[in-house]
Amino acid sequence: MHTDAPGYATTRHGRAPAPGPSFGNPFLRCRCGLAGLERIHRRPWMKFLPGLRFYRCSSCGKPQLAPKRAVRDAVIAHRSAQQNER
Ligand SMILES: [Zn+2]
């Protein structure tokens, strides 16, 4: 009979991610929307992510990965919406 439980009780929560110049996780997108993203150079490991491109938000400056198609569609929709405002 095994009474030794794995040491889950010793797991600590609340370790805050270290703030840094990379703005944290590139897989997390900011809330400014895809239309304001600018293409920037990818890191070497990002070539293993087909379909994703590396962008920087022109509003808040956060670098983030996003699908190329989604960004293109968002930019097109954004432009057409601006034209409709006239
Ligand atoms: Zn942003």
> pLDDT for 34-49, tens place per residue?
999 999 999 999 999 9
What's the pLDDT at 15? 58
Residue 49 burial (10 A CB sphere; 0-12, 13-18, 19+) = middle
What's the pLDDT at 52? 95
Give the strands of the sheet with 63-67, arranged side by side: 37-39, 52-57, 63-67
The mean of the pLDDT values for the chain is 83
Amino acid at 54: F
Å from CA of 7 to ligand 1 middle: 40
Q: Are 64 and 29 in contact (CB under 8 A)?
A: yes
Low-confidence ranges of the chain (pLDDT < 50): none
Å from CA of 64 to ligand 1 middle: 9
Å from CA of 86 to ligand 1 middle: 26
Tokens representing residue 38 in the block: 């600018």
Å from CA of 12 to ligand 1 middle: 31
Å from CA of 59 to ligand 1 middle: 5
